[in-house]
Structure 1
Amino acid sequence: MGIMPAARGVKRAASKSSTATASTAAKNKKKRGVEMGFGKPCLVNIVSQTRASLIITIVHCICPAIQWEIPSAPKKRGRVLACGQGDVGQLGLGEDVVETSKFKYVTALGDKIVDVYAGGMHTIALDSSGKVWTFGCNDEGALGRATSGESEEGTPGAVRLPAPAVCIAAGDSHSAALLNTGDVYAWGAFRDSHGSMGLVVRGREGKSCREPVHVDIGETAVAIASGGDHLVILSASGGVYTMGCGEQGQLGRLSQRSASRDARQGFSALLVPSKVTLKAGGARIWAGYHATFVLDNNDKMLAWGLNNYGQLGITGEKRKTAIFSPTECDAFTSQQCTWVRVACGQHHSLALDSAGQVYAIGRCEYGRLGLGDRAGDAEVLEPIPALQNKKVISIAAGTSNSFAVTDSGSVVSWGMGSEGQLGTGACNDAAEPTAAVTPALAERTPLHISAGGQHTVLLVEDPTSQKEASPPPESETSEQKGDSQSAESEEEEPKPAKRPKNEQEGEISSTSSAQPSEVAEEAKLQKVNGDEKKETPMEVDETDTPQQKEEDAETETKSADEQTDTEQTEPENTQTEDSKPETTDTSSQETTDSDTKSQEPEKTDVEMSEERTEVNGTPEVVEPKTVDVIPTANPLTTTA
């Protein structure tokens, strides 16, 4: 559930006097010669130099001084596939697709996505420009944007953030994003045994947030991870902060008596991010349904939360209990592996080591461990036999199922599959890793997989999207008529003032029935993630319709080029001299399996007055121009 990998920042060593400014040079994590034990000299700091002598002060550190940098977003761009239950739009495949047992392309997201996570009943994606897109259930604000119906909820829409995002996370009913400024923003709500807790404290109660709110930890954040109903944040200094539901110990900083909304401090102890006490700073964080994992700076795996099936890898007398404070995971230590990722489901966990081997521990029902038919649970980390000769690069754990992606490009899944979320083409359970069914990927390599409550999302690299320039738009028609599982269209949309309908808040629709007055209002510039460029991966390729001629005649201010538009003219023919093709995001339409519906769009020309905007913090004057607003039809209506 939105389990975040480790911070991709660079580890730095610093003295006490320089920790606040983080001005020291980058250090490799494995080179820790200065990280000695308690009370030992660990760093020589040159305090001052005078004419007479060089004064050297030896700083005695209680613990290693670690400084992490804000990570950059993943570089590889690609497309998203989804499978499973989509009754509330969490698949993003259109209103006609409410479930599918095979992975299908979410064409509305385009081909510039760099990260994606599945929440309980929603999905969050990050594109290469730092924009965050969401779709699915919005009952408690998990989408972070206003929606007026199921059509808008099921269509990807942008979340307004003050700066580009570099990391994202999703829980049961909440989402979060780490910005390139080191700030964390979250939206939605947490839940406990009493129902919704809200997200932040307002007055004496917890209130859900339908728009992003700043989560202040008092220092720079470098990583985030979402459990089912809690959020974990890693700071630049290695501090681990938690907030949300703590009933199963998943916050790691409250006693069992204090971890309830009924306690004396109430919501203020739960919904205000606070620091977990650790002997050594954190290096990596992961979160599961009711648990949190931290790999500390001494390479020890720590965990806290629900351990009723031993899923935390904490054995002995603490097995089958809830653990409310950081505890070393002895099952991880005994393997003597270098751990690179942990995925935690409701009652089981997966672990990935540096060699690409996957281990499982915890409850065995429904085959979620991938260890075959067996009666007993796994009390220690056991390697999954079917994956021992493969190198795995990504793992995920759903409620009662598991997933893996190998470096050879294969996608496998196992465990409960009653909702088709395994993507195997059936709704059966699988006791061992089973190949998922995907469209012909050709050169598209699977990169990352994430499991939600009843659906799964997969990110595949698209080599053509890595290019700076897109193919000419003339190739669009021929590509769209290609093979139904590998057709690809990359249309360059260089007009900076052009805004696709589905990018705007509150106007996403699968129909093209907008009135001119409504379109004029929708065409106003908005600041989305600190970037007001109109090209986004959300655009859907469209061509002009005969109605364009009638509307051209009604608009007296159109240029000569626009007045001579024909039914066959592409939207790019109306671009202005100040277009910026070098910043264009391309979009693609995929046809999958056997069913693809198309809808003729209407095109409305809107006169925009000169308006001063701000693009990524830089003032920019947008000259008066005519804008073609193309209401986007639902691009994919394939059924399972």
Structure 2
Amino acid sequence: MPPKRKSAGRPPKSQVAVNGAATKKVKVNHPSHCTEPGVVLTVGEGDVGQLGHGDEMLQRMKPRVVADLPMCISVVAGGMHTVCLTTDGEVYTFGCNDEGALGRPITDEDTEPFSPGKVPLADKIIQISAGDSHTAALTDEGKVFLWGTFRDGTGAFGLTSYGQTSKQPLHIRLEAPVIQIASGDDHLCMLTIDGDLLTMGCGEQGQLGRVAEIHAVRGGRKGPAILLEPSRVHCKRIRGRGKPLFDGVWCSSYCTFARTRDGDIYAWGLNNYHHIGLTNREPHYMPNAIESFSNIKVDSVAGGQHHTVLLDTEGKVYSLGRVDYGRLGLGEQTKESNVPALITDLADKHVTSIGCGTSVSLACTKQGEAYAWGMGSSFQLGTGDEDDADTPVLMEGKQLQNRRVIYVGAGGQHTVLLAVDK
């Protein structure tokens, strides 16, 4: 059992608090921040409102534009909710709000979560991320706001070291401005302007990269504060060059991938299908340099429950991990591998964005085409049927005919797209 909350004492300097003290004012920027405005389209299952098409449209077989949204520069899919970032730096959400993932007041649970609504944030937001039951937002001054809750194998255990959940944005007090955020199902990673990587949330599968296995389940005898207090990930020395400074971070459901300024990829977390690139199947609680990625100049990483997709700097796509339902896009492959394999069906394309859901994968090209592969049972592939696809298939639909897709992402049973007019 986690320890009882102490009745007194000053909170740690990085504790979460409503409208916390302002961080050092500095304008932040990172290549992961989207800037091209477009419209949001969704497809798949929408039984709890994650499609944003109202309470009478609970499923879409082909992508459809979400109405009543301003122009957006980013959209991300949580497990059962969707988060949109407008050109004005405002955040809109829709979908499941059982544990506060929408971050806004809901007066009518029957209708309001099914349509976009604005999150009450005074700061200008430049990046968003979402997990199963939490949402995070990064401001142009490097502040991070967080709402909802983290969960583990026994249920919800809050956002703060005291186990507090929140249905409104909470400000995380940190010493340095943050330039990039990334969410797994139940953990959050924050890359600072100094190149440090901070993590918080569930650590059961090793996804925090800084908590030993003995303390991974609700912090063990140390209590949940060790998991929920944002803290720095430490790496071993690299060939005598001192600690690695990071310039990119990405999360899959239960894993974290980080790139150093030298281009090396480190990873930690669940590895039961070799999907972090290591040969054994054990979870890894501390960072490992991934040698199997060393021949790829990684631009970005996406991952689902048990698979990983890589995009290199030349627009080529690779995959590794679990093969079921065709989620790797490699055809009738029957055995997983820790070595990334080139997806040959996309080899003649220049891919600009990749995304993953639980058992699906997505990519969009420089020409604005969207491709999907993997499990099709929720119409998540946008092909109009529920067939699985073991190689990439072109996503088509009337509302895509005159649009160019610039971003793809997926949640548990739904897919999100950002597109611009041709």
Q: State the TM-score, normalized to the length of structure 2.
A: 0.90
C-alpha offsets along residues 312-366 of structure 1, whole Å, 9 cap, x if unaligned? 0123xxx211000010111101x2x321010011111000001110000011011
Aligned twin of 2:161: 201
SS in structure 2 at match of 1:249? coil
Aligned twin of 2:16: none
Note the C-alpha offset of 1:441. 3.4
SS in structure 2 at match of 1:264? helix
Distance (whole Å) between structure 1 residues aligned to residue 370 and residue 29 of structure 2: 30
User: What pairs up with 1:95-174 in 2 under 5 angstroms?
Assistant: 95-110=55-70, 112-148=71-107, 149-174=109-134
Return closer, same or farther for 1:400/1:222 CA change in 2, 3 Å cut-off: same
Aligned amino acid, residue 378 of structure 1: S
Aligned twin of 2:3: none
Distance (whole Å) between structure 1 residues aligned to residue 141 and residue 43 of structure 2: 34
SS in structure 2 at match of 1:380? coil
C-alpha offsets along residues 426-459 of structure 1, whole Å, 9 cap, x if unaligned? 0111111011123243552110011101100000
SS in structure 2 at match of 1:200? coil
Give the conservation status (yes or no) of the 8 Å contact 2:63–2:399: no
The two structures, once aligned, show a CA RMSD in angstroms of 1.8
Which of residues 281, 297, 310 in structure 1 aligns to 2:274? Answer: 310
Note the C-alpha offset of 1:74. 2.9
Note the C-alpha offset of 1:70. 3.7
SS in structure 2 at match of 1:331? helix
Give the conservation status (yes or no) of the 8 Å contact 1:341–1:351: yes
Distance (whole Å) between structure 2 residues aligned to residue 353 and residue 93 of structure 1: 35
Give the conservation status (yes or no) of the 8 Å contact 1:260–1:266: no
Structure with greater strand percent: 2
User: What pairs up with 1:469-508 in 2 under 5 angstroms?
Assistant: none
Distance (whole Å) between structure 2 residues aligned to residue 368 and residue 172 of structure 1: 20
Q: Who wins on radius of gyration, i.e. which is larger?
A: 1
Are 2:210 and 1:253 equivalent residues in the alignment? yes
Distance (whole Å) between structure 2 residues aligned to residue 258 and residue 218 of structure 1: 25
C-alpha offsets along residues 265-296 of structure 1, whole Å, 9 cap, x if unaligned? 21101111111013211100001100000001
Aligned twin of 1:618: none
C-alpha offsets along residues 59-105 of structure 1, whole Å, 9 cap, x if unaligned? xxxxxxxxx94449533111011001100000001111101121111
Which of residues 178, 190, 204 in structure 1 aligns to 2:150? Answer: 190
User: What pairs up with 1:582-597 in 2 under 5 angstroms?
Assistant: none
Aligned amino acid, residue 323 of structure 1: H
Aligned amino acid, residue 332 of structure 1: F
Task: Report the identity percentage.
Answer: 43
Aligned twin of 2:221: 264
Distance (whole Å) between structure 1 residues aligned to residue 124 and residue 355 of structure 2: 26
Distance (whole Å) between structure 2 residues aligned to residue 210 and residue 376 of structure 1: 43
Distance (whole Å) between structure 2 residues aligned to residue 216 and residue 224 of structure 1: 15
User: What pairs up with 1:52-451 in 2 under 5 angstroms?
Assistant: 69-71=28-30, 74-110=34-70, 112-148=71-107, 149-202=109-162, 206-261=163-218, 263-278=220-235, 279-315=243-279, 319-333=280-294, 335=295, 337-451=296-410
- Runs of 4+ off more than 6 Å: 20-23
User: What pairs up with 1:443-462 in 2 under 5 angstroms?
Assistant: 443-462=402-421
Distance (whole Å) between structure 2 residues aligned to residue 21 and residue 290 of structure 1: 32
Distance (whole Å) between structure 2 residues aligned to residue 161 and residue 275 of structure 1: 27
Give the conservation status (yes or no) of the 8 Å contact 1:447–1:459: yes
Structure with greater helix percent: 1
C-alpha offsets along residues 552-571 of structure 1, whole Å, 9 cap, x if unaligned? xxxxxxxxxxxxxxxxxxxx
Give the conservation status (yes or no) of the 8 Å contact 1:288–1:346: yes
Give the conservation status (yes or no) of the 8 Å contact 1:291–1:306: yes
Note the C-alpha offset of 1:371. 0.6
Unaligned segments of structure 1, at least 5 residues: 1-19, 24-67, 464-640
Work out the number of aligned pairs and report it: 391
Aligned amino acid, residue 291 of structure 1: C
Distance (whole Å) between structure 2 residues aligned to residue 229 and residue 378 of structure 1: 26
Give the conservation status (yes or no) of the 8 Å contact 1:360–1:378: no
SS in structure 2 at match of 1:320? coil
Distance (whole Å) between structure 2 residues aligned to residue 218 and residue 294 of structure 1: 21
Distance (whole Å) between structure 2 residues aligned to residue 162 and residue 265 of structure 1: 36
